[in-house]
Amino acid sequence: MYYSFPMQFLSTAGLATDTNQVITNAHLTTIEGYIDGLEALITALNSAVATAAKQDTTNAHLTTIEGYIDGIETLLGTLATSAKQDTIIGHIDGIEALLTTIDTNVSDIETLLSSINTNISDIETLLTSIDSKVTRLQIVDFLDTPLLDAASTTIEGSGGAFLTVVASLAADVKALRIADTTGAFIGVYNTANTLIAIINAGIDGEIPCVIAAGQTIKLRSLGASNITLGNLVIQFLG
Protein backbone atom coordinates (compact mmCIF):
# COMPACT_ATOMS: atom_id res chain seq x y z
CA MET A 1 0.00 0.00 0.00
CA TYR A 2 1.42 3.42 -1.00
CA TYR A 3 0.40 6.99 -0.10
CA SER A 4 0.76 9.87 -2.45
CA PHE A 5 2.04 13.20 -1.00
CA PRO A 6 -0.56 16.00 -1.34
CA MET A 7 1.27 18.56 -3.55
CA GLN A 8 -1.29 21.32 -2.84
CA PHE A 9 0.59 21.92 0.40
CA LEU A 10 3.73 22.87 -1.59
CA SER A 11 2.40 25.87 -3.53
CA THR A 12 5.29 27.99 -4.94
CA ALA A 13 3.18 31.05 -5.77
CA GLY A 14 5.00 34.31 -5.08
CA LEU A 15 8.45 32.76 -4.46
CA ALA A 16 11.51 34.88 -5.24
CA THR A 17 13.15 34.40 -8.62
CA ASP A 18 16.61 34.13 -7.02
CA THR A 19 16.35 30.77 -5.14
CA ASN A 20 20.02 30.68 -4.38
CA GLN A 21 19.70 33.09 -1.43
CA VAL A 22 21.39 31.80 1.67
CA ILE A 23 18.27 32.01 3.83
CA THR A 24 16.15 30.13 1.22
CA ASN A 25 18.74 27.38 0.99
CA ALA A 26 18.64 26.97 4.76
CA HIS A 27 14.84 26.63 4.70
CA LEU A 28 15.01 24.09 1.83
CA THR A 29 17.51 22.05 3.81
CA THR A 30 15.01 21.93 6.67
CA ILE A 31 12.23 20.92 4.26
CA GLU A 32 14.39 18.08 2.94
CA GLY A 33 14.69 16.84 6.49
CA TYR A 34 10.91 16.88 6.82
CA ILE A 35 10.54 14.95 3.52
CA ASP A 36 13.07 12.35 4.64
CA GLY A 37 10.97 11.85 7.73
CA LEU A 38 7.82 11.50 5.63
CA GLU A 39 9.45 8.92 3.39
CA ALA A 40 10.53 6.87 6.39
CA LEU A 41 7.02 6.96 7.85
CA ILE A 42 5.42 6.06 4.52
CA THR A 43 7.81 3.09 4.14
CA ALA A 44 6.83 1.89 7.59
CA LEU A 45 3.14 2.26 6.72
CA ASN A 46 3.50 0.29 3.45
CA SER A 47 5.06 -2.66 5.28
CA ALA A 48 2.41 -2.71 8.03
CA VAL A 49 -0.50 -5.21 8.22
CA ALA A 50 -3.88 -3.56 8.84
CA THR A 51 -4.68 -4.57 12.37
CA ALA A 52 -6.33 -2.51 15.07
CA ALA A 53 -2.97 -2.03 16.79
CA LYS A 54 -1.27 -1.20 13.51
CA GLN A 55 -4.03 1.24 12.66
CA ASP A 56 -3.39 3.09 15.90
CA THR A 57 0.27 3.26 14.95
CA THR A 58 -0.68 4.40 11.47
CA ASN A 59 -2.89 7.13 12.89
CA ALA A 60 -0.04 8.31 15.08
CA HIS A 61 2.27 8.38 12.06
CA LEU A 62 -0.31 10.31 10.05
CA THR A 63 -0.57 12.85 12.85
CA THR A 64 3.20 13.24 12.73
CA ILE A 65 3.02 13.62 8.96
CA GLU A 66 0.44 16.40 9.37
CA GLY A 67 2.85 18.12 11.73
CA TYR A 68 5.59 17.90 9.13
CA ILE A 69 3.28 19.32 6.47
CA ASP A 70 2.33 22.22 8.78
CA GLY A 71 6.01 22.92 9.33
CA ILE A 72 6.64 22.90 5.57
CA GLU A 73 3.77 25.33 4.99
CA THR A 74 5.16 27.63 7.70
CA LEU A 75 8.64 27.59 6.14
CA LEU A 76 7.23 28.25 2.68
CA GLY A 77 5.42 31.25 4.10
CA THR A 78 8.72 32.70 5.33
CA LEU A 79 10.56 32.39 2.01
CA ALA A 80 11.48 35.68 0.31
CA THR A 81 8.99 36.87 -2.28
CA SER A 82 9.63 39.10 -5.29
CA ALA A 83 7.85 41.94 -3.49
CA LYS A 84 10.13 41.58 -0.47
CA GLN A 85 13.14 41.53 -2.75
CA ASP A 86 11.96 44.75 -4.39
CA THR A 87 11.73 46.35 -0.94
CA ILE A 88 15.26 45.19 -0.08
CA ILE A 89 16.55 46.48 -3.42
CA GLY A 90 14.91 49.84 -2.70
CA HIS A 91 16.70 50.04 0.65
CA ILE A 92 20.03 49.11 -0.98
CA ASP A 93 19.50 51.78 -3.65
CA GLY A 94 18.87 54.31 -0.89
CA ILE A 95 22.06 53.28 0.91
CA GLU A 96 24.05 53.53 -2.32
CA ALA A 97 22.66 57.02 -2.98
CA LEU A 98 23.57 58.08 0.56
CA LEU A 99 27.10 56.71 0.19
CA THR A 100 27.45 58.60 -3.09
CA THR A 101 26.39 61.82 -1.35
CA ILE A 102 28.80 61.17 1.53
CA ASP A 103 31.63 60.53 -0.93
CA THR A 104 30.85 63.82 -2.72
CA ASN A 105 30.78 65.72 0.58
CA VAL A 106 34.10 64.18 1.65
CA SER A 107 35.60 65.22 -1.67
CA ASP A 108 34.30 68.78 -1.18
CA ILE A 109 35.74 68.87 2.36
CA GLU A 110 39.12 67.68 1.09
CA THR A 111 39.07 70.43 -1.55
CA LEU A 112 38.15 73.03 1.08
CA LEU A 113 40.89 71.84 3.44
CA SER A 114 43.39 72.01 0.60
CA SER A 115 42.29 75.59 -0.11
CA ILE A 116 42.55 76.48 3.59
CA ASN A 117 46.06 75.02 3.77
CA THR A 118 47.02 77.08 0.74
CA ASN A 119 45.62 80.24 2.35
CA ILE A 120 47.45 79.51 5.61
CA SER A 121 50.67 79.05 3.68
CA ASP A 122 50.10 82.39 1.90
CA ILE A 123 49.40 84.11 5.24
CA GLU A 124 52.56 82.65 6.77
CA THR A 125 54.56 83.89 3.79
CA LEU A 126 53.00 87.35 4.12
CA LEU A 127 53.70 87.52 7.86
CA THR A 128 57.30 86.47 7.26
CA SER A 129 57.61 89.22 4.67
CA ILE A 130 56.06 91.82 7.00
CA ASP A 131 58.28 90.74 9.88
CA SER A 132 61.37 91.14 7.72
CA LYS A 133 60.29 94.67 6.76
CA VAL A 134 59.37 95.87 10.22
CA THR A 135 62.16 97.87 11.80
CA ARG A 136 62.35 97.23 15.51
CA LEU A 137 62.66 100.46 17.45
CA GLN A 138 65.85 100.70 19.43
CA ILE A 139 66.91 103.03 22.23
CA VAL A 140 68.89 105.86 20.63
CA ASP A 141 69.21 108.24 23.60
CA PHE A 142 68.39 108.88 27.29
CA LEU A 143 67.92 111.94 29.47
CA ASP A 144 71.25 113.54 30.22
CA THR A 145 70.57 112.44 33.77
CA PRO A 146 68.98 109.01 33.09
CA LEU A 147 66.88 109.12 36.29
CA LEU A 148 65.32 112.51 36.94
CA ASP A 149 64.51 112.89 40.65
CA ALA A 150 62.09 115.79 41.10
CA ALA A 151 63.05 116.07 44.77
CA SER A 152 66.48 117.32 43.70
CA THR A 153 65.67 118.64 40.19
CA THR A 154 62.45 120.67 40.19
CA ILE A 155 60.22 120.66 37.11
CA GLU A 156 58.68 124.11 37.20
CA GLY A 157 55.00 124.91 36.63
CA SER A 158 53.43 126.21 33.42
CA GLY A 159 54.53 129.79 34.11
CA GLY A 160 58.11 128.87 35.01
CA ALA A 161 61.32 128.13 33.16
CA PHE A 162 61.89 125.10 30.91
CA LEU A 163 64.10 122.32 32.26
CA THR A 164 66.61 121.07 29.67
CA VAL A 165 66.96 117.28 29.98
CA VAL A 166 68.74 116.46 26.68
CA ALA A 167 71.17 118.96 25.21
CA SER A 168 71.16 117.34 21.76
CA LEU A 169 69.41 114.14 20.61
CA ALA A 170 71.85 111.56 19.32
CA ALA A 171 69.53 110.31 16.52
CA ASP A 172 66.08 110.71 15.00
CA VAL A 173 63.33 109.61 17.39
CA LYS A 174 60.01 107.91 16.62
CA ALA A 175 58.68 107.17 20.10
CA LEU A 176 59.25 107.75 23.80
CA ARG A 177 59.30 105.02 26.43
CA ILE A 178 58.34 106.63 29.75
CA ALA A 179 58.12 105.62 33.42
CA ASP A 180 56.68 108.34 35.66
CA THR A 181 55.98 108.43 39.41
CA THR A 182 55.51 112.19 39.80
CA GLY A 183 51.77 111.88 39.26
CA ALA A 184 51.69 115.08 37.20
CA PHE A 185 51.11 115.94 33.53
CA ILE A 186 54.38 117.08 31.97
CA GLY A 187 54.97 118.75 28.61
CA VAL A 188 57.86 117.75 26.35
CA TYR A 189 59.28 120.61 24.28
CA ASN A 190 61.88 120.93 21.50
CA THR A 191 64.59 123.52 20.86
CA ALA A 192 62.01 126.12 19.78
CA ASN A 193 60.04 125.57 22.99
CA THR A 194 57.27 123.90 20.94
CA LEU A 195 55.17 121.31 22.74
CA ILE A 196 55.80 117.98 20.97
CA ALA A 197 54.44 115.41 23.48
CA ILE A 198 52.57 115.13 26.77
CA ILE A 199 53.58 112.72 29.52
CA ASN A 200 50.43 111.46 31.23
CA ALA A 201 50.49 111.30 35.01
CA GLY A 202 51.86 107.97 36.19
CA ILE A 203 52.43 106.56 32.70
CA ASP A 204 54.50 103.42 32.24
CA GLY A 205 54.63 102.76 28.52
CA GLU A 206 55.35 104.18 25.07
CA ILE A 207 53.95 107.14 23.14
CA PRO A 208 54.66 107.99 19.48
CA CYS A 209 56.72 111.14 19.02
CA VAL A 210 58.77 112.16 15.99
CA ILE A 211 61.80 114.31 16.85
CA ALA A 212 64.75 115.10 14.62
CA ALA A 213 68.27 114.37 15.72
CA GLY A 214 70.15 117.27 17.29
CA GLN A 215 67.07 118.78 18.95
CA THR A 216 67.23 120.01 22.54
CA ILE A 217 64.60 118.38 24.75
CA LYS A 218 63.01 120.35 27.57
CA LEU A 219 60.32 119.67 30.19
CA ARG A 220 57.79 121.79 32.05
CA SER A 221 54.73 120.97 34.11
CA LEU A 222 51.37 121.54 32.42
CA GLY A 223 49.98 122.56 35.79
CA ALA A 224 50.66 125.78 37.60
CA SER A 225 52.51 124.13 40.51
CA ASN A 226 56.11 122.99 40.48
CA ILE A 227 56.81 119.23 40.51
CA THR A 228 59.06 118.41 43.45
CA LEU A 229 58.31 114.75 44.14
CA GLY A 230 58.69 111.52 42.17
CA ASN A 231 60.96 110.16 39.49
CA LEU A 232 60.92 110.31 35.70
CA VAL A 233 62.72 108.13 33.16
CA ILE A 234 62.52 108.76 29.39
CA GLN A 235 64.08 106.51 26.74
CA PHE A 236 64.17 107.85 23.20
CA LEU A 237 63.41 105.18 20.57
CA GLY A 238 64.37 105.32 16.91
Q: Would you state the torsion angle of the CA atoms of residues 99, 103, 108, 114, taken in this order, to the nearest 10 degrees? A: 150
Q: How far is 130 from 209, CA to CA, in rounded Å?
A: 23
Of the three residues 58, 80, 102, the one that is the final residue of a domain is 80
CATH code of the domain containing 157:
2.60.120
Of the three residues 54, 80, 106, the one that is the final residue of a domain is 80
145/233 same-domain check: yes
H or E element at residue 231: strand 231-237
Q: Which residue has the higher pLDDT, 217 or 104?
A: 217
pLDDT of residue 79: 62
Please give the residue range of the domain that contains residue 33.
7-80
Q: 198 and 209 in contact (C-beta within 8 Å)?
A: no
- Determine, yes or no, domain membership for 32: yes
145/228 same-domain check: yes
Q: If pLDDT is split at 50, 70 and 90, which confidence band does 139 have? A: very high
- Determine, yes or no, domain membership for 192: yes
Domains contained in the chain, number: 2
- Determine, yes or no, domain membership for 178: yes
153/229 same-domain check: yes
pLDDT in tens, 193-232: 999 999 999 999 999 999 999 999 999 999 999 999 999 9
- Determine, yes or no, domain membership for 85: no
H or E element at residue 43: helix 22-46
Segment 181-202 mean pLDDT? 97
Q: How far is 210 from 67, CA to CA, in rounded Å?
A: 109
pLDDT of residue 217: 98
- Determine, yes or no, domain membership for 103: no
215/148 same-domain check: yes
- Determine, yes or no, domain membership for 24: yes
- Determine, yes or no, domain membership for 58: yes
pLDDT of residue 3: 43
Q: How far is 101 from 154, CA to CA, in rounded Å?
A: 81
- Determine, yes or no, domain membership for 127: no
Of the three residues 64, 80, 96, the one that is the final residue of a domain is 80
Task: Provide the total of helices (H) and of strands (E) in the chain, helices listed first.
Answer: 3, 9
Q: Is the pTM of this model over 0.85?
A: no
68/148 same-domain check: no
Q: 20 and 44 in contact (C-beta within 8 Å)?
A: no
65/146 same-domain check: no
**152, HSE (Cβ side, Cα atoms, 13 Å):** 6
